[in-house]
Structure 1
Amino acid sequence: MAPPSPDVRLIRVSTRDVPACERTPFWREVFARQMCRLEFEPLSEGPLDVSATLLALPGLSVGRCLSAMHARWSRTAELVKDGDDAFALIIPLAGTVNRLQRGQELDAKPGEAVGILHSEPGGIQFRELNDLAVMIPRSALAPHLPDLEEAATRLVARTNDALRLLRHYLMAWRENFDITDPAVCSLAVAHVHDLVALALGSTRDAAAVAKGRGLRAARLQAVKADIAANLTARDLSVAAVALRQRVTPRYIHMLFDGEGTTFSQFVLAARLAHARGMLLDSRHAHQAIGAIAYASGFGDLSHFNHAFRRRYGATPSEVRRGEA
């Protein structure tokens, strides 16, 4: 695998990696203040137990935080002097987040989202936390939104399609971001910008661009994830996926057309890759090839053998023996 771009940083931090007596000062001074430019204040007794993952890309930062204790993250009047003008979208995955800024309180529950401006004092409070936070420079969002300050005062509903797709898009990045091509990385960042703008209510012209770029990419990723999750199902069809994803079969066909392939070709390739993985895995050495084909979603062994040889230039038996 190619090394990550020097412009991409993935940081994982946990208080469990620090001696108990050093956890609070480490989390407050090193991680919160120095790395995140935030204040962290525990609001309950007991040992600090917090972990976080931070992915920093050009024009975008994505954070994931887990905390089992009552606490508060905030940007104080002193900290906002650092000039950070990012907009942060907080997306709770579990637990309720109470957001306070400009004297206004908003409670965001799982599936919802709430914004906060880094250029003004404010913060979030919670009893337990499992969230995603997306930080985007103001300059990247301003062209898409008529009033960013006003957008930060609105709760984004869980029924918001752009938010649902944004959450799905980001969850794939939470542990590993293995994009090494700078051009692809820039496109991925643009997709997130588009989805955030759509979720917040972008201008008409910006929405038209976003729907053709970020929304389309996130829809396709969601469809591919749905296929992967149901790969072995005999009833895996474009109609079934469309129903689960709340789109039309024609729209799914159009998504794959844009990649120069078809729904059926993608499913076939995914099933063949699944079967090949099982054939190469010693844990499945006792399984007959027919059983592996069936476990990979194939109902016809002859069709499986023919498609496998055409794809990999070798029979399943040859691949299992390491001859190809």
Structure 2
Amino acid sequence: MQDTGSLQRARISTDAFPEARRLQMWREVYGRGLAAVDIEPIGDTPFHAEVTFSQLPGISIAAGSRSPAHYRASRELAARAKDFMVISVLRAGRASATQFGKELIAGVGSASVIAPLDPSTSTMLTEGSFVTLLLPLPTIARRAPHYTQAFGRPIPSSNTALHLLNRYVDVVADTSVTDPAIARSVSEHMLDLAALALGAHGDYAELARMRGGTAARLTAIKSDILQALGDSELSTEAIAIRHGISPRYVRKLFEQDGSSFSTFVLAERLAKAHRMLTDRHFGHLNIAQIAHESGFSDVSYFNRTFRRQFGSRPSDFREAAKCVWREQQD
């Protein structure tokens, strides 16, 4: 996939191939063409797999699911990716990954670190899902000079940087990033988190925490808030519990971002209400219902803040939207 500076996505699935040639074509297209591995199915389960590729500046992400199979990288195939290293997180199922004769997976949520140039085998023992990150070695070496110490052992699921990196992957998967500057920023944060997960320490770790750890945590918190805007009881305390941090730290993260928790929540609730008022799919809801769905328990307060934000009453926007809807029907 070409690196254009913005987030690029592509999806491939065995469902797109003729059933009789499914395995053969997956071996050619995915195994040899993309992942540089040989594939050997396990058992009698019909072979299937699907992968979504996301390309950010300097980092590639593959997320998908597989039926049981061995994915073997020979020395010859591994040499094709000599300038990269791989971090692969097991999301579901049972799996094994070996390199240098050592087991690299420690259960769901853990990550295997695959060194370049040397043979390795990754095996999905059951139906399962994964996320794999392809990271440029020169970039990782600058952030975590002792990264080779991570080879030959798993990164446990309890690793805080890995947990944040995993959350960041979900945010990227759910977000459309077309601005190259934002895409570069997201990529930088993810590379910093990867360096921390690989064991960056000293000044390198401190710099990565300042850039990547804080940004990723705030991104994950904002993502959770957007999912819970309709909850009128949404608070710093509730978010803090979900993320295992203190309410004070939640507030501090927003302050460092030049905002506040309450300001962000209010702005996003008003934006959600605005979208609903002008979307015909919500045309059956009245103003009070939209206010409630957006997290406002007081309709009078909603009307005041909406008018202050957008310069008109919610009812004015709804009436204007209805005119547009009628014109579209005609």
User: Is residue 103 of structure 1 aligned with residue 101 of structure 2?
Assistant: yes
| Cα pair distance change 1:275/1:9, threshold 3 Å | closer
Q: Structure 2: how far apart are the matches of 1:262 and 1:56?
A: 32
* Root-mean-square deviation over aligned CA pairs: 2.0
Offset at 1:83?
5.1
Q: Structure 1: which 5+ runs fail to align? A: none
Which range moved further: 201-210 or 290-299? 290-299
1:243-322 paired onto structure 2 within 5 Å = 243-322=241-320
Q: Which segment is superposed worse, 188-197 or 256-265?
A: 256-265
1:229 match: 227
Q: 1:226 to 1:10 in 2, by over 3 A?
A: closer
Gaps of 5+ in 2: 325-330
CA distance in structure 1 between the aligned counterparts of 2:105 and 2:183, rounded to whole angstroms? 33
Deviation (angstroms), 1:98: 0.5
Whether the 8 Å contact between 1:144 and 1:203 is mirrored in structure 2 is no
1:40 lines up with 2:39 in the alignment:
yes
Say if 2:100 is the partner of 1:113: no
In structure 2, relative to structure 1, the CA distance for the partners of 1:189 and 1:38 (3 Å cut) is same
Alpha-carbon distance, 1:152 to partner: 2.0
**143-152 or 307-316: bigger deviation:** 143-152
1:114-133 Cα shifts (integer Å, max 9, x gaps): 21113211121112220000
Distance 1:175 1:17, change over 3 A: farther
CA distance in 2, matches of 1:8, 1:226: 21
- Structure 2 distance, partners of 1:83, 1:270, is 42
Alpha-carbon separation, structure 2, partners of 1:7 and 1:316: 35
Residue of structure 1 in register with 2:78 after alignment: 80
**Map of 2:146 onto structure 1:** 147
Aligned counterparts of 1:171 and 1:148: Cα–Cα separation in 2: 24
CA contact (8 A) 2:171 2:223 kept: no
Tell me how far 1:51 sits from its aligned partner: 0.5
For the 8 Å contact 1:275–1:292, the answer to whether it is kept is yes
SS at structure 1 position matched to 2:11: strand
Paired-residue identity, %? 35
Describe the SS at the equivalent of 2:253.
Answer: helix
1:195-252 residue CA offsets vs partner (Å, 9 max, x unmatched): 1111121021111111111111111111112212222223211122122212222222
Q: Distance in 2 between matches of 1:63 and 1:174?
A: 10
Q: What are the superposed Cα offsets for residues 283-305 of structure 1, whole Å, 9 maximum, x if unpaired?
A: 43232211221221112111100
Partner secondary structure for residue 321 of structure 1: helix
The residue aligned with 2:157 is 158
Alignment of 1:118-133 (within 5 A): 118-127=116-125, 128-133=127-132
Partner in structure 1 of residue 217 of structure 2: 219
Contact 1:101 1:121 in 2 (8 A): yes
Amino acid across the alignment from 1:209: L
Question: Which residue of the partner structure matches residue 136 of structure 2?
Answer: 137
Q: Structure 1 residue 6: deviation in Å?
A: 6.2
Q: 1:57: Cα distance to partner?
A: 3.0
Distance in 2, Cα, partners of 1:187 & 1:110: 28
Aligned partner of 2:60 in structure 1 is: 61
CA contact 2:147–2:199 (8 Å) conserved in 1: no
The alignment partner of 2:60 has SS state of strand
TM-score (norm 1): 0.91
Q: Is the 8 A contact 2:277 2:314 kept in 1?
A: yes
| Residue deviations 1:51-77 (CA, integer Å, cap 9, x gap) | 11112333211001211x210122112
1:201–1:49 distance in 2 versus 1, CA, 3 Å = same
d(CA) in 2 for partners of 1:190 and 1:172?
A: 15
List per-residue Cα deviations over 1:156-212 (Å, max 9, x = no partner). Answer: 222221111111100122365x32333322221111111111112102111111111
Write the letter of the residue equivalent to 2:13.
S
**2-structure distance, mates of 1:298, 1:149:** 52
Question: Match of 2:158, SS?
Answer: coil
CA drift of 1:322 comes to 1.9
Task: Could you list the structure 1 runs, at least 4 aligned residues long, displaced by more than 6 angstroms after superposition.
Answer: none
In structure 1, distance between residues paired with 2:94 and 2:81: 29
Q: Is 2:88 the counterpart of 1:90?
A: yes
